[in-house]
């Protein structure tokens, strides 16, 4: 713990966000006071004159204890409802990739928010979108965490709705452009004539990356060679082995390559100014109709995990992420989480942006991935997300 040269009195309520008050003094000591209702106060003090000024600390603590016993402080997290004994139901969730982009889900699992809803989440990784969608359509998984672009492809091919998007997971591109050495200052023209290990052709991150190149007067696959046939399990190993000049990598892989001195992040992988639903929670229409109660419970828990992620520090989130990436160093996860927070990766609410979905369709039309504009009105169902927001309100 790094001490600061004044009192840092933090009022923490369970897993809610701290409210900090500061008082100038000079004591180097740490106190923890527990209250009967799981509320507690931690005080970190630093400086000299340790004994003479402890009385001031105790007076402040007593005053705060009295205040918190008679009034409630403003919470920055959805207020939890009283827990009840509820039947436990199993729900299978598939993520297309195991990445820090899905940290709010891991947070909700670790903090017991799904247990509060009576859900037992079974999580697996597909490692590519096609496999994930196949599992969803075959009934091997109940919910899929993936990019929405394949929904457009299926709608175009089969002329019927195959998926419903229930929640928006991220609003920015989680990919970083990794170079083999520092490039100061970086500019996109440096990619001319180079080889980039990218995403699969037709994927949303790849379309965004190629649009970025075109904005910089670079022709994808002509001025810049892009490798598009690798999956998430092999692309970092391929880059480490010497293939490619640049790599599109998510976290924690981008920060991991930096820690290994195998690469350096020189830019975000796109300069797209708008927030888009780059990844969503989706299900089949049949599953939503038959198991609407489970969908609601999932969204309730996920919203709490999303909000906790947005309101807490990278250090607090790293402790959770470490359980899901045990092979990664603490410093690697901290860097990756901090980078995503700076980027504004996670949205403020789980509502799927209808405008964002329309912009994705426009991008796919411009990229010649769609033949004509589609009717996507039925692709989004924000009913469950709105109810979750209403149930767990923030003050």
Specify the pLDDT at position 274. 84
> Could you give the CA distance from residue 22 to residue 7 in angstroms, rounded to a whole number?
5
Residue 163 and residue 126 in one domain: yes
Q: Which of 5-9, 32-36, 187-191, 345-349 has the lowest mean pLDDT?
A: 5-9
Structure tokens of 73? 């402080």
Note down the domain range covering 341.
Answer: 89-172+276-391
More confident residue, 321 or 1: 321
Answer whether residue 87 shows pLDDT above 90. Answer: no
* Selection from 112, 116, 110 nearest residue 84 by Cα: 116
Tell me the per-residue pLDDT of 210-262, one tens digit each, with 9 for 90 and over: 999 999 999 999 999 999 999 888 999 999 999 999 999 999 999 999 999 99
Report residue 281: phi and psi, to 5°: -90, 125
Residue 137 and residue 282 in one domain: yes
Beta bridge partners of 21: 9
In a domain, 180, yes or no: yes
In a domain, 364, yes or no: yes
Strands 39-45, 29-34: parallel, antiparallel or unpaired by DSSP?
Answer: antiparallel
Specify the pLDDT at position 183. 85
Alpha helices in 122-270 (DSSP H): 129-137, 149-158, 204-215, 235-240, 253-259
> Could you give the CA distance from residue 62 to residue 54 in angstroms, rounded to a whole number?
12
Residue 210 and residue 288 in one domain: no
Average pLDDT value for residue range 383-388: 98
Structure tokens of 110? 């670790």
Residue 218 and residue 152 in one domain: no
Strands 279-283, 164-170: parallel, antiparallel or unpaired by DSSP?
Answer: antiparallel
Instruction: List, as one string, the DSSP characters of 348-359.
Output: SS----HHHHHH
Residue 304 and residue 345 in one domain: yes
Residue 198 and residue 346 in one domain: no
Specify the pLDDT at position 17. 35
Average pLDDT value for residue range 32-37: 34
Confidence of residue 39 (pLDDT cuts 50, 70, 90): very low
Domain end call among 268, 300, 315: 268
Residue 93 and residue 45 in one domain: no
Tell me the per-residue pLDDT of 249-302, one tens digit each, with 9 for 90 and over: 999 999 999 999 999 999 998 777 889 999 999 999 999 999 999 999 999 999
Answer whether residue 46 shows pLDDT above 50. Answer: no
In a domain, 76, yes or no: no
In a domain, 81, yes or no: no
DSSP 17: P
Answer whether residue 323 shows pLDDT above 70. Answer: yes
> Could you give the CA distance from residue 3 to residue 89 in angstroms, rounded to a whole number?
45
Mean pLDDT over the full length of the chain: 84
DSSP 269: S
b/e per residue 292-317 (b: at least 16 CB within 10 A): eebbbbbbbbbbbbbbbbbbbebebb
Domain end call among 268, 286, 316: 268
Answer whether residue 52 shows pLDDT above 60. Answer: no
Beta bridge partners of 279: 170
Cα-based angle 102, 105, 107 (whole degrees, multiple of 5): 110
Answer whether residue 77 shows pLDDT above 60. Answer: no
Specify the pLDDT at position 78. 61
pTM of the model: 0.79
**Region at 153 (left for phi over 0; alpha for psi -120 to 50; beta for the rest):** alpha
Tell me the per-residue pLDDT of 330-371, one tens digit each, with 9 for 90 and over: 999 999 999 999 999 999 999 999 999 999 999 999 999 999
In a domain, 154, yes or no: yes
Residue 51 and residue 186 in one domain: no
Residue 220 and residue 118 in one domain: no
Confidence of residue 63 (pLDDT cuts 50, 70, 90): low
Q: Residues with Cβ < 8 Å from 366, sequence gap 6 or more?
A: 211
Structure tokens of 20? 């900090």
Average pLDDT value for residue range 302-313: 98
CA of residue 171 relative to chain centroid, distance: 9
Residue 34 and residue 59 in one domain: yes
Residue 219 and residue 153 in one domain: no
Specify the pLDDT at position 269. 87
Q: Residues with Cβ < 8 Å from 268, sequence gap 6 or more?
A: 172, 173, 175, 176, 177, 343
Q: Which of 61-70, 114-123, 335-344 has the lowest mean pLDDT?
A: 61-70
Structure tokens of 361? 């369709």
Confidence of residue 160 (pLDDT cuts 50, 70, 90): confident
The CATH code of the domain that includes 183 is: 3.40.190.10
b/e per residue 217-236 (b: at least 16 CB within 10 A): ebebeebbebbeebebeebb
In a domain, 79, yes or no: no
Domain end call among 250, 268, 286: 268
In a domain, 83, yes or no: no
Confidence of residue 83 (pLDDT cuts 50, 70, 90): low
CA of residue 289 relative to chain centroid, distance: 27
Answer whether residue 13 shows pLDDT above 90. Answer: no
Strands 89-95, 119-125: parallel, antiparallel or unpaired by DSSP?
Answer: parallel
> Could you give the CA distance from residue 176 to residue 162 in angstroms, rounded to a whole number?
31
> Could you give the CA distance from residue 94 to residue 92 in angstroms, rounded to a whole number?
7
Which three-class secondary structure string do you get for 65-125?
HHHHHHCCCCCCCCCCCCCCCCCCEEEEEEECCCCHHHHHHHHHHHCCHHHHCCEEEEEEE
Residue 36 and residue 126 in one domain: no
In a domain, 235, yes or no: yes
Split into its structural domains, the chain has a count of 3
Specify the pLDDT at position 272. 78
């Amino acid at each position: 713990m790094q001490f600061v040269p004044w009192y840092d009195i933090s009022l923490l309520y369970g897993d809610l966000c701290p409210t900090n008050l500061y008082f100038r003094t000079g004591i180097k000591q740490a106190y923890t006071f527990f209250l009967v209702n799981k509320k507690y106060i931690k005080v970190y003090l630093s400086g000299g004159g340790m004994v003479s000024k402890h009385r001031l600390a105790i007076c402040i603590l007593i005053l705060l204890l009295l205040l918190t016993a008679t009034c409630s402080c403003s919470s920055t997290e959805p207020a939890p409802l009283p827990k009840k004994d509820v039947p436990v139901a199993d729900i299978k969730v598939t993520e297309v990739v195991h990445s820090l982009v899905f940290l709010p889900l891991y947070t909700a699992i670790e903090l017991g928010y799904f247990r509060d809803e009576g859900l037992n989440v079974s999580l697996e990784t597909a490692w590519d979108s096609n496999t994930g969608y196949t599992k969803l359509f075959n009934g091997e998984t109940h919910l899929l965490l993936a990019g929405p672009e394949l929904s457009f492809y299926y709608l175009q091919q089969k002329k019927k709705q195959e998926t419903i998007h229930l929640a928006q997971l991220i609003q920015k591109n989680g990919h970083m452009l990794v170079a083999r050495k520092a490039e100061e200052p970086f500019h996109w023209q440096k990619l001319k004539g180079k080889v980039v290990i990218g995403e699969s052709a037709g994927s949303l991150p790849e379309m965004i990356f190629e649009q970025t190149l075109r904005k910089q007067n670079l022709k994808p696959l002509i001025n810049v060679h892009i490798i598009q046939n690798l999956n998430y399990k092999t692309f970092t190993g391929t880059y480490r082995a010497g293939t490619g000049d640049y790599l599109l990598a998510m976290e924690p892989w981008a920060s991991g390559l930096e820690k290994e001195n195998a690469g350096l992040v020189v830019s975000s992988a796109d300069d797209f100014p708008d927030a888009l639903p780059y990844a969503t929670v989706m299900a089949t229409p049949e599953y939503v109709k038959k198991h609407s109660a489970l969908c609601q419970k999932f969204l309730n828990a996920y919203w709490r995990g999303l909000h906790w992620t947005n309101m807490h520090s990278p250090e607090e989130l790293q402790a959770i992420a470490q359980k899901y990436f045990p092979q990664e160093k603490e410093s690697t996860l901290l860097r990756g989480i901090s980078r995503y927070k700076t980027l504004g990766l996670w949205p403020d609410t789980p509502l799927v942006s209808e405008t964002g979905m329309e912009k994705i369709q426009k991008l796919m039309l411009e990229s010649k991935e769609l033949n004509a504009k589609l009717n996507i009105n039925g692709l989004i169902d924000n009913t469950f997300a709105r109810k979750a927001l209403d149930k767990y309100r923030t003050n």
